Amino acid sequence: MKKIKYLYVLMTVITIGLFTSCTDDLNQMPTVQVTSAKVYETPEGYKSVLAKVYASLALSGQEKGGGDRDLSADKPSEGYIRVYYNLQELPTDEAIYSWAGGDALNDIQFIQWNSTDEWVSAMYYRIYYTIALCNEFLRNATDDKIAGFTATEKENIIGYRDEVRFIRALVYYHALDLYGNVPFVTENDPVGAFFPPRKTRAELFTYIESELKEIGETLPLPKANEYGRVSRAAAWALLAKLYLNAEIYTGTQRNTDCIIYCNKVIDGGYTLEPVYKNLFNADNDLRTNEIIFPIEVDGQHTTTWGATTYLVCGPIISNGTMIATDYGVQSGWNSIRTRKEFVNQFADVTGATDKRASFYTDGQTLDINDPTTVTDGYAIVKFTNKTSTGENGSNFAEGLVDTDFPMIRLADVYLMYAEAVVRGGTGGSIGTAVNYINLIRQRAYGNNTGNIGQNDLTLNFLLAERARELYWECTRRTDLIRFGKFTGSSYIWQWKGGVKNGTAVDEKYNLYPIPASDIAANPNLRNDEY
């Protein structure tokens, strides 16, 4: 059975008020069982709060399945990864949701949202909840506050500070990518109600860049930290992702910088996991050769109906032929399938040629005539709760999975390197880029029959290859925007814009709006397009 070494459900939670602008959703406190003064009395208390910071990306409350919620509103209780997946995947060609009407997801998957959308707000609140946890930790981890501990204890807590700064940079990156110009608060701001200033996308970019570059020199070396905790490689990889999208965020391309930080990650000693499917199963915590930063999930400890439980159970369809136990759970949710344009990225949907093709087609149609019909659209079975030896996860009885979510992994770094080279970045080479792509494709094909040459390495190829390699890993919306294909009419897929055959959508949907409630409460905020 997989053991969570570090990311456990934290019952000791600090007292903190979110920074915000006096709205009911943000101006609240997490569940409190001891005060800040008490929890920070011991080094163990600091490590417990660090665990809570990590856990905020997987869990939505203090009890099994999200009970004793972090936030009172319904949709944030679905958990960070589930909400993030919905915003990054459902509006794209990679996914469609059956119960969108009842779960208020139609506007998300049809790219028709507005500033009062529940899921748009849910992601925003989860981001700023995690930021608040990070800020509170950092307020209590200054040199003065930890002066009374031993030298070893102080060294450990200083290391925790860097990890917390990484998590804060990660979720600020998500805010930057999803919302653009957002409120900004750090540990140097007061606790309680005040009006945080609005940072432009370019300003927030600079802040995240500075944080990641600084901690990229002080975090543990690549692969030197405990599994589930970040190292310098995570900071470098996130910097590469930031630089790859820099033209969207700031108007200036930074492809050379992307290559620099991809090289740093690659030189850190990571290698591709030989079996692609092993990256998404119940013992994927063993894949430290490729997974640089996971969000840990465990059926016994990090028990949630979000995160990868959502990605395992959601696409299992009750169509008379699909058997949930084949995927390590007792039942499916009839929730998520994929659209035909994504399926068409693969020449062979059976997985016999390209092993990354993880579709269930028996009893399913390729076309989606009605998004609410669960047999319309192929199911995706990329994530499972089976181990690499075919055993069920540790909590099969309750349907809770052990599969970690690979937030950052080496294959993405190879793909970023290749794209940055093709886009004109210096410090890399086309030959090296082709080699990295062929390493990915040799794993997928099991041999060199899928290899490409230098003339094949185009931007269109790379967008398609990113889809084949990284689908359902919460990259698709960001990728389509970077390639100019998310909004507008340059790429149409079924049900884009709410029309069966797809239609162009307004460019304003390249960003989600700040929730209307926060706009009303904070005079520093505004939505330029909504």
The 3-state secondary structure of 350-399, one letter per residue: CCCCCCCCCEECCCCECCCCCCCCCCECCEECCCCCECCCCCECCEHHHC
- Examine residue 84 and state whether it is found in any structural domain, yes or no: yes
- Examine residue 424 and state whether it is found in any structural domain, yes or no: no
Alpha carbon separation from 80 to 60, 70, 395 (Å, rounded): 7, 11, 21
Alpha carbon separation from 8 to 25, 285, 491 (Å, rounded): 26, 15, 43
How is residue 284 written in tokens? 């994927």
> Helix, strand, or coil here: 178?
helix
Q: How many domains does the chain have?
A: 1
How is residue 244 written in tokens? 């790859």
CB 469 within 8 A of CB 416: no
CB 70 within 8 A of CB 61: yes
pLDDT of res. 478 = 98
Q: How far apart are CA 436 and CA 441, in angstroms?
A: 9
Which 8-state DSSP code applies to residue 471? T
Alpha carbon separation from 1 to 100, 255, 298, 362 (Å, rounded): 35, 42, 10, 32
CATH number, domain of 64, equals 1.25.40.390
pLDDT of res. 304 = 78
pTM of the model: 0.93
pLDDT of res. 2 = 43
Residues of the chain with pLDDT under 50: 1-32
- Examine residue 389 and state whether it is found in any structural domain, yes or no: no
- Examine residue 397 and state whether it is found in any structural domain, yes or no: no
List beta partners, residue 484.
none
For 149, other C-beta atoms within 10 Å of its C-beta total: 15
- Examine residue 159 and state whether it is found in any structural domain, yes or no: yes
- AA identity, residue 378: Y
Q: Please, is 99 exposed, middle or buried when counting C-beta atoms within 10 Å of its C-beta (0-12, 13-18, 19+)?
A: middle
Phi, then psi, of 172 in degrees rounded to 5 = -65, -35
Q: How far apart are CA 421 and CA 458, in angstroms?
A: 10
- Examine residue 101 and state whether it is found in any structural domain, yes or no: yes
- Examine residue 211 and state whether it is found in any structural domain, yes or no: yes
- AA identity, residue 437: I
Phi, then psi, of 182 in degrees rounded to 5 = -135, 165
- Per the structure, the complete domain to which residue 74 belongs is given by 12-218+487-525
- AA identity, residue 152: T
Q: Please, is 391 exposed, middle or buried when counting C-beta atoms within 10 Å of its C-beta (0-12, 13-18, 19+)?
A: middle
For 197, other C-beta atoms within 10 Å of its C-beta total: 13
pLDDT of res. 77 = 63
Give 443's Cβ-side CA count (13 Å radius): 19
Q: 122, 135, 237, 224: which is closest to 185 by C-alpha? A: 135
Q: What is the pLDDT of residues 141-185, one digit of tens each?
A: 999 999 999 999 999 999 999 999 999 999 999 999 999 999 999
Q: How far apart are CA 217 and CA 67, in angstroms?
A: 38
How is residue 500 written in tokens? 């069966």
CB 344 within 8 A of CB 468: no
- Examine residue 456 and state whether it is found in any structural domain, yes or no: no
CB 119 within 8 A of CB 104: yes
Q: 114, 182, 174: which is closest to 526 by C-alpha? A: 182
